[in-house]
Chains A and B, each alone.
Chain A
Amino acid sequence: MTLRFNGAEIPCPQGSTVLDALIEADQSVEYSCKNGICQTCVLRADRGAVPAESQVGIKDTLKALGYFLPCVCLPEGSLEISVPEDADLLGRARVVSKETLSPSVSRLVIEPATPLYYRAGQFLNLRRDDGLTRSYSLASVPHLDPHLEFHIKTLPGGEMSTWIRDDVSPGQPLEFGGPNGACFYLPEHPEQNLLLIGNGTGLAPLIGIARDALHSSHHGDVYLYHGSRHVAGIYLHEDLLELQTLFPNFHYVPCLSGDAPPQGYRAGRAEAVALGDFPDLTNWRIYLCGYPPMVNAAQRKCYLAGARMDDIHADPFELKELRSSPRD
C-alpha cells in the first residue's frame, strides 16, 4: 500500500497503521494516545477510502469530508492524505456586488478566481490585503448559486464589518481561507426532521443549509427559526416566506425578543420558541448558528430534549475579542 502525504510517496506495509508509516518515514505529524481516542492526529483522506474503524468518534460531517484517525487506520488501498489545516490555503476572489439587507446587515457577493468546492453552511476566512481576517458563513448553495454570498452585520467600531459596509465596492479583490466548518446538510437521512435556529446573521449558514436540503429532495420537515430583537433584524422575511410557498415541508418562524411581534411573527427568543414548539427532539438533526451564548445554551437544551450529540451542529460566531454585549 502507498500513502501520498505532503507530496511524498510513503510505503505502508501490511499491518502498519497510517500513523506508524508516517512516523517511520520521518514525517512530522501530531499525535498523542495512538489509540483512536484523543483525535490529536486527525488527518484528511483526499483520495481513497479509509476503513470505518478509523472514523469512530468523528462527527458525521467531518467523516463526510474524509477526516480519519491515522493511528487506528490499517489502509485497505492507497490513500492520498493531508493535514486538515494545510487545506486552508488562501484563494483569490473579487467582489461582484454589495447590497443592503437591513440597516445593519449587508449582503456581499464574491466570485472566486477558480471554482470553490464547498458545502452550504460552511464558512470562509475573508482576508483584506493588509492581513485583517474574519470568518463569514456562506449563505449560498454550490449547485444553486453562481457566486459566493455572505450576510455581514455591521458592528460599531468593528474593523472588517465597517470596512465592508463603507469601503468595499464591486471589483474589490479579496483573499480567503477555507471552506471550513462542519455545519452543513447531510443527505443520508432525507426523512429526518431538521431544526434550524439562528439569530442575526446566524441566518446566513441556515438559509444555505435549508435550500440545500430542500433542493436535495429532503422530505422530512425543515423548521427555520430566525431571531432578532427588532423587526429590521428579520432581514430576509420576504425571501423566506416565498421559500415556504415553494416547499410545503419548509416552515419559517421569525421570532422577536424585543419589539412587539406584528402579524406572522412570534414573541420570544428563537431558541425558546423552538424548544417550546418541539419539546421532544429525539431523532431530529439540529443546526444552531450565531450569537455564541444562544448557540451554547441551545445546544444543551436540544441535547436534554433528546437529540443525539452527533446530530447537533453548533456554529457559534465567536468574535475576535470576547465581548459581553449581545449581537442580534
Chain B
Amino acid sequence: MADNLYEQLGGGPAIDAAVDIFYRKVLSNDAISGFFDSTDMEEQRAKQKSFLTMVFGGPSQYSGKDMRAAHAPLVEKGLNDSHFDAVAGHLQETLDELGVPADLAAKVMAIAAGTRDDVLNR
C-alpha cells in the first residue's frame, strides 16, 4: 500500500494542501520574497508545486544538474545559506501546520537538506 514517502504523505492532494501555505509564507518573508518577485504568480506557484513534489519524494524529473541550473541565476543575485535556511524553515512550518507526523516530516527535511549544495551551486 502506502509504502513510499510521497504516498504516506498523501500524494497530490497533500501537495495541493501544502502549496498555498508554503507559498504565502515565502512571499510574506521580506528576506527571500525578492527572489520570487515574478509578475506571473500562477507560474511561480506551479514551481512551488515542483519544489514540494520533489521534497515530498514524489515523481520528479529534476536532476542535481537541473537544480543547479534553476537556481544559478539566484546565486548570482546573492542566494546563500541564510536564504536556504529560511526556505527550509518555512517548509518545516508548513509540515507542522498540516500535522505531518514527525518521522515523515524528518524525511522531507532530509531530502530538502540534501539539495543544499546543488541549490547554492557549490
Contact = CB atoms under 8 A, between A and B. Distances in A.
B24 A309 contact: no
B20 A304 contact: no
Interface in A283-311: 296, 299-300, 303-304, 308-309
A303 B41 contact: yes
A309 B27 contact: no
A296 B38 CA distance: 10
Given A308-B20, A309-B20, A300 B28 contact: no
Nearest to A38: B46
A309 B39 contact: no
A132 B39 CA distance: 28
B24 A304 contact: yes
Nearest to A307: B20
B50 to A, nearest CB: 10
Contacts of A309: 20, 41-42, 45
A32 to B, nearest CB: 14
A300 B26 CA distance: 12
Which bracket fits the contact residues of B?
A: under 10
B28 A304 contact: yes
A296 B39 CA distance: 6
Given A308-B20, A309-B20, A299 B27 contact: no
A300 B23 CA distance: 11
Nearest to B40: A296
Contacts of B24: 303-304
Contacts of B42: 309
Contacts of A304: 24, 27-28
A309 to B, nearest CB: 6
Interface string B7-51: 000000000000010011001100000000001011001000000
Interface in A211-252: none
A305 to B, nearest CB: 9
B27 A303 contact: yes
Contacts of B41: 299-300, 303, 309
Contacts of B23: 303
Contacts of A296: 39
Nearest to A295: B39
Contacts of A308: 20
A303 B19 CA distance: 12
Given A308-B20, A309-B20, A300 B45 contact: no
Contacts of B20: 308-309
Contacts of A299: 41
Nearest to A297: B39
B64 to A, nearest CB: 22
B58 to A, nearest CB: 13
B104 to A, nearest CB: 25
A300 B41 CA distance: 8
A159 B33 CA distance: 38
Contacts of B28: 304
A200 to B, nearest CB: 19
Contacts of B27: 300, 303-304
Nearest to B39: A296
Interface of A: 296, 299-300, 303-304, 308-309
5 contacts: A303-B24, A304-B27, A308-B20, A309-B20, A309-B42
Interface of B: 20, 23-24, 27-28, 39, 41-42, 45
Given A299-B41, A309-B42, A309-B45, 8 more contacts: A300-B27, A303-B24, A304-B24, A304-B27, A304-B28, A308-B20, A309-B20, A309-B41
